[in-house]
Structure 1
């Protein structure tokens, strides 16, 4: 199934799909030969940004409700890796973007591995996408996605140095399966395309019709 243009629907619809995709990813990982010592669960990510008004906008409301997937080891239930799917709320404000980037950098500093899926084009607050901001913090190196493939998928391998394995896609492209590192030099492949399709197929027809690109 091709990647859709999620900027064409309200943030609430994106959030519903996001929730379904997170659940499908957890189910797929836990049902696979993942590893007997690891398990995946949805997890709310703390948002310490300070710009949320008393009467938040829709984007700010869904920023508060964003979730991720934590990969935990049965020994102490410690986090070894995270999967994050960027939402519109993550990019709704300067402080929202900064909170997302700070959380990612803290995970990498703690030697946790990370997979980020950013299905939204760069904007004025993240001209290189969220990976561009993270990569600048981690390596002081600039990153810009190709203009014709603005969505960035990136697997971070956290070791003595942090390595990033990047794929860029556009609306209409199939999602590649991506690496999720569980330890240095050790990863599993995350079925992004299959789980995206499973989550999309159960969305309301009204919004599937809006999102489906015209047949070529």
Structure 2
């Protein structure tokens, strides 16, 4: 299914789709895609800037002693993700923040986050700063992150959120070469001794590719964004689907 132009409708319509999409991804991950010992949960971040997210945890193994699950997913060295762009970022001077996500108080360790960007994350500079600081803080704590941004850059992220995240990580102002004809961004970050970013860009009406979600810096699974997007989109009311799919400008 092609990606739709969500700028045609008000924020609340995308929010309703957003909260339907996350459970579809959760269902897919927990229905055999994740290796044994991992599970995904949709959670709500406390705060006005980052709403529902999908978190990936490991469960205590060996009788609850907190040992990490065995290897699972695809080995990065043997089969790298098929994204067209791969970047290595050497992080410098990261500032730790405490409000990255709701964590379990048990030994269920937070491994990764899936963030579906909403218009509210980008509608003012403060919100962009909050969102990108959250991603950088997660990576600083060795939590891997996949962001899905189906909205074109605006005045607060003129070359996209990925550029701002890169700049925060590397401590530079180096510009990012965002393709003009493919302004939407999917970016998966693996946090190890450094940060590796696997990035895809697309345009409205392009299909969503699978994107890697890292379990460890050297292992990942592919998240089926397109099939889960389709399942969630079927729940959008017909009135709003007609506006979203209209060939005329909204």
Q: TM-score, normalization: structure 2?
A: 0.77
| Matches of 1:195 and 1:12, distance apart in 2 | 20
| Matches of 1:203 and 1:113, distance apart in 2 | 30
| Matches of 2:58 and 2:143, distance apart in 1 | 12
CA contact (8 A) 2:188 2:211 kept: yes
In the TM superposition, residue 142 of structure 1 has moved relative to its aligned partner by 2.6
Corresponding residue for residue 28 of structure 2: 28
| Matches of 2:113 and 2:50, distance apart in 1 | 17
Corresponding residue for residue 194 of structure 1: 227
Q: Tell me, what secondary structure is at the counterpart of 1:196?
A: helix
Paired residues, what number? 199
The residue correspondences of 1:88-103 to structure 2 (distance < 5 A) are: 88-103=119-134
Deviations 1:126-170 (A, max 9, x none): 112111100111123432320100000001011100010000001
In the TM superposition, residue 45 of structure 1 has moved relative to its aligned partner by 2.3
The residue correspondences of 1:28-107 to structure 2 (distance < 5 A) are: 28-47=28-47, 63-64=48-49, 66-75=51-60, 76-107=107-138
| Matches of 1:46 and 1:138, distance apart in 2 | 24
CA contact (8 A) 2:49 2:121 kept: no
Structure 1 or 2, whichever has the larger Rg, is 2
Report the structure, 1 or 2, having the larger helix content. Answer: 1
The residue correspondences of 1:134-213 to structure 2 (distance < 5 A) are: 134-139=165-170, 140=172, 141-212=174-245
In the TM superposition, residue 33 of structure 1 has moved relative to its aligned partner by 3.5
CA contact (8 A) 2:17 2:233 kept: yes
Higher relative contact order (CA 8 A, sep 6+): 2
CA contact (8 A) 1:135 1:142 kept: no
Q: Tell me, what secondary structure is at the counterpart of 2:120?
A: helix
TM-align CA RMSD: 1.3
Q: Tell me, what secondary structure is at the counterpart of 2:221?
A: strand
Unaligned runs of 5+ in 2: 61-106
| Matches of 2:200 and 2:39, distance apart in 1 | 25
CA contact (8 A) 2:213 2:220 kept: yes
CA contact (8 A) 2:49 2:127 kept: no
Q: TM-score, normalization: structure 1?
A: 0.89
CA contact (8 A) 1:26 1:40 kept: yes
Q: Tell me, what secondary structure is at the counterpart of 1:32?
A: helix
Deviations 1:49-77 (A, max 9, x none): xxxxxxxxxxxxxx557211000111211
